[in-house]
């Protein structure tokens, strides 16, 4: 039997005002990793939700092992062996690993839960995947995101999975955790499972994909063997135009060089930061590089008053300033865009317009607190257009936007807030390559208008692409500083791995 493991033909799906999928086809074979890529809002997650029984397709046919199947719901998809590893974890935090894996299917003797067998079965499953990072009896709430994801994968395997779907699984993982995930994926492959893998990280494709299928605006663009295509070609298929991946930072205006807008002196926190000092100038994009856990987010949080400091001073425009809570920071003109997607501060049930204007309420609300829609709408429309936020209108409910487009709304919100100093923490996580360029362009525009930006990013090409200067951190300290002219990946990595005493 040579039929592919899973085949999708002519699938379409519409939402009010959006044709999310338009006559899409693709297939995946046993033991293969098929990467599904495309811009934010291209339809990747919607397609996967159809396969896992969350959405019902409007048209098309799904074949599993050559037989047409009508997937009626999530439970049915599981029974068929199509398992989705959600980006937003679906585990019960207060239960153990074993209880989570076998929830609703626990082994019983005479009607009683057979705890020993539950844990033993789980141990076998974990051993099969070579997972030694946690035990069946560990509580899920004590596990890191990466480990929770491993639990999800073990759970997938326990269902006799045929197809495992992973929607942006690495977006919150460190490098080592990503390596572990890739090892698990090889295990799944070796046991004949077909994997559908969604990611915006192009460099991952060359590591694990066998074939790559590209979607754009809900339409099928093409499928390539990984070995027969370059990253550049895939990006071109995704965004439909050329992108200059080697662009460098715009030069900073020379007259701003002595104009220090933020000076941090000897900042320390109880947990991690040790004596951090630096200056940010008007019109500058200051990149912060380092490995995960180096202390960059902690530094941002200490500056905006979200975490207590144990020593240090902060000067805004030359004046020493005490910032003891994030609201003070905003009042002083310092905005912080958090890296934590769950804490993006979006009101998911409200429309895009409200979310964009949310933090600038002062300017757009009348004396009763009602939104002044006139000038506000114009601002929202401007950002929806310039960031290419894919939404039927600015009055669409935010939760209906694709993941990456929700992220863009957060960026728009901070751009609209018009702070003089903006701290962006991993701003382009989950954002497609084309849209990243739009965001870079906007950041450059902001600094040209005299704003200053601190940009924390784990993606070296992004730091190099944007920053006038780069500060590297390791273990809560600054270990190096580079100008954009001297900066290169190797030098940054060298500083980032320097373990200071």
Ligand X SMILES: Nc1ncnc2c1ncn2[C@@H]1O[C@H](COP(=O)(O)OP(=O)(O)OP(=O)(O)O)[C@@H](O)[C@H]1O
Q: Could you list the residues that contact Mg ion (CB under 5 A)? A: 45, 402-403
- Could you say whether residue 400 binds ligand X (CB under 6 A)? yes
Report the C-alpha gap between 134 and 24 in whole angstroms.
Answer: 40
390 binds, among Mg ion, ligand X, none (CB under 5 to 8 A by kind): ligand X
Q: Of the listed pieces 15-23, 254-262, 326-334, 340-348, which binds ligand X according to CB under 6 A?
A: 15-23
How many helices (H) and strands (E) in the chain? 17, 22
- Using CA atoms, how far residue 8 sits from 3, 11, 61, 173, 443, in Å, is 12, 7, 6, 30, 40
Report the C-alpha gap between 428 and 403 in whole angstroms.
Answer: 12
Residue of 11, 35, 42, 131 interacting with ligand X (CB under 6 A):
42
Nearer to Mg ion, 338 or 405 (CB): 405
Size of the site for ligand X (CB under 6 A): 18
- Asked if 164 contacts 3 with a C-beta cutoff of 8 angstroms, the reply is no
- Could you say whether residue 20 binds ligand X (CB under 6 A)? yes
Cβ-proximal residue to ligand X, closest one: 404
Sign of CA dihedral 420, 425, 426, 428: negative
* CB 400, min distance to ligand X, A: 3
Residue of 249, 287, 403, 427 interacting with ligand X (CB under 6 A):
403
Start-to-end Cα distance in the chain = 61
Sign of CA dihedral 421, 426, 429, 432: positive
Q: Of the listed pieces 14-22, 151-159, 450-458, 484-492, which binds ligand X according to CB under 6 A?
A: 14-22
- Taking alpha carbons only, the member of 329, 361, 358, 362 closest to residue 345 is 358
- Using CA atoms, how far residue 171 sits from 86, 199, 341, 388, in Å, is 12, 8, 10, 21
Residues 45-84 that bind ligand X (CB under 6 A): 45-46
Nearer to ligand X, 43 or 333 (CB): 43
Residue of 404, 427, 476, 480 interacting with ligand X (CB under 6 A):
404
The runs of H, that is alpha helices, within 82-215 are 97-101, 115-128, 145-158, 175-190, 202-208
* CB 388, min distance to ligand X, A: 11
Count the Cβ atoms, other than its own, within 10 Å of residue 498: 14
Determine which helix (DSSP H) or strand (DSSP E) holds 469, and give its type and residue range: strand 469-474
Q: Of the listed pieces 39-47, 108-116, 308-316, 463-471, which binds ligand X according to CB under 6 A?
A: 39-47
Residue of 4, 41, 194, 376 interacting with ligand X (CB under 6 A):
41
417 binds, among ligand X, Mg ion, none (CB under 5 to 8 A by kind): none
- Using CA atoms, how far residue 19 sits from 26, 33, 46, in Å, is 18, 27, 11
DSSP state of 192: T
Nearer to ligand X, 40 or 297 (CB): 40
Nearer to ligand X, 44 or 451 (CB): 44
* CB 45, min distance to Mg ion, A: 3
Report the C-alpha gap between 313 and 482 in whole angstroms.
Answer: 23
Pairing relation of β-strands 112-113 and 108-109?
antiparallel
- Taking alpha carbons only, the member of 50, 74, 48, 46 closest to residue 60 is 50
* CB 337, min distance to ligand X, A: 17
* CB 17, min distance to ligand X, A: 8
Nearer to ligand X, 249 or 404 (CB): 404
* CB 427, min distance to ligand X, A: 14
405 binds, among ligand X, Mg ion, none (CB under 5 to 8 A by kind): ligand X
* CB 34, min distance to ligand X, A: 15
338 binds, among Mg ion, ligand X, none (CB under 5 to 8 A by kind): none
Residue of 32, 35, 38, 398 interacting with ligand X (CB under 6 A):
38
15 binds, among ligand X, Mg ion, none (CB under 5 to 8 A by kind): ligand X
Q: Of the listed pieces 40-48, 97-105, 172-180, 441-449, which binds ligand X according to CB under 6 A?
A: 40-48
Residue of 401, 446, 474, 496 interacting with ligand X (CB under 6 A):
401
Report the C-alpha gap between 365 and 324 in whole angstroms.
Answer: 26
20 binds, among Mg ion, ligand X, none (CB under 5 to 8 A by kind): ligand X
* CB 404, min distance to Mg ion, A: 7
- Taking alpha carbons only, the member of 335, 279, 277, 283 closest to residue 305 is 335
CA 171 centroid distance within chain: 4
Residues 374-393 that bind ligand X (CB under 6 A): 390
Binding site for ligand X (CB under 6 A): 15, 18, 20, 38, 40-46, 390, 400-405
């Amino acid at each position: 039997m040579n039929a592919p493991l899973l085949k999708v033909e002519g699938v379409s799906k519409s939402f009010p005002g959006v044709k999310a999928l338009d006559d899409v086809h693709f297939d995946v074979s046993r033991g293969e990793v098929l990467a599904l890529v495309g811009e934010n809002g291209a339809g990747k997650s919607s397609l996967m939700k159809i396969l896992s029984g969350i959405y019902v397709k409007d048209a098309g046919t799904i074949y599993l092992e050559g037989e047409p199947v009508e997937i009626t719901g999530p439970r049915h998809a599981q029974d068929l062996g199509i398992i989705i590893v959600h980006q937003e974890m679906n585990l019960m935090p207060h239960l153990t690993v074993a209880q989570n894996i076998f929830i609703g299917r626990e082994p019983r003797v005479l009607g009683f839960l057979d705890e020993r067998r539950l844990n033993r079965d789980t141990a076998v499953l974990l051993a099969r995947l070579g997972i030694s990072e946690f035990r069946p009896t560990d509580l899920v709430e004590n596990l890191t995101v990466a480990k929770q994801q491993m639990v999800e994968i073990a759970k997938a395997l326990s269902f006799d999975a045929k197809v495992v779907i992973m929607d942006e699984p690495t977006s919150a993982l460190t490098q080592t955790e990503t390596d572990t995930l890739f090892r698990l994926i090889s295990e799944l492959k070796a046991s004949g499972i077909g994997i559908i893998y969604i990611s915006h990280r192009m460099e991952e494709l060359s590591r694990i994909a066998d074939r790559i299928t590209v979607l754009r605006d809900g339409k099928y663009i093409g499928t390539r063997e990984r070995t027969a295509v370059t990253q550049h070609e895939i990006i071109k298929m995704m965004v439909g135009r050329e992108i200059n991946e080697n662009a460098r930072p715009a030069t900073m205006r020379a007259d701003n060089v002595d104009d220090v807008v933020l000076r941090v002196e000897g900042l320390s926190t109880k947990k991690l930061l040790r004596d951090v000092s630096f200056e940010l100038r008007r019109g500058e994009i200051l990149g912060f590089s380092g490995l995960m856990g180096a202390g960059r987010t902690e530094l941002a949080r200490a500056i905006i008053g979200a975490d207590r400091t144990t020593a240090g001073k902060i000067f805004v425009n030359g004046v020493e300033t005490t910032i003891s809570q994030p609201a003070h920071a905003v009042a002083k003109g310092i905005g912080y865009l958090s890296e934590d997607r769950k804490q993006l501060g979006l009101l998911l049930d409200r429309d895009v317009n409200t979310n964009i204007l949310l933090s600038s309420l002062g300017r757009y609300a009348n004396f009763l607190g009602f939104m002044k829609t006139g000038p506000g709408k114009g601002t929202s429309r401007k950002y929806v257009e310039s960031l290419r936020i894919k939404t039927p209108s600015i009055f669409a409910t935010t939760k209906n936007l694709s993941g990456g487009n929700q992220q863009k709304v957060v960026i728009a919100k901070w751009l609209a807030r018009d702070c003089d100093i903006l701290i962006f923490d991993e701003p382009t996580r989950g954002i497609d390559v084309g849209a990243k360029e739009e965001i870079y362009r906007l950041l450059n525009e902001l600094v040209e208008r005299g704003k200053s930006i601190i940009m924390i990013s784990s993606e070296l090409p992004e730091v190099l692409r944007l920053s006038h200067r780069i500060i590297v951190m390791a273990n809560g300290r600054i270990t190096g500083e580079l100008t954009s002219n001297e900066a290169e990946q190797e030098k940054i990595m060298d500083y980032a791995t320097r373990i200071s005493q």
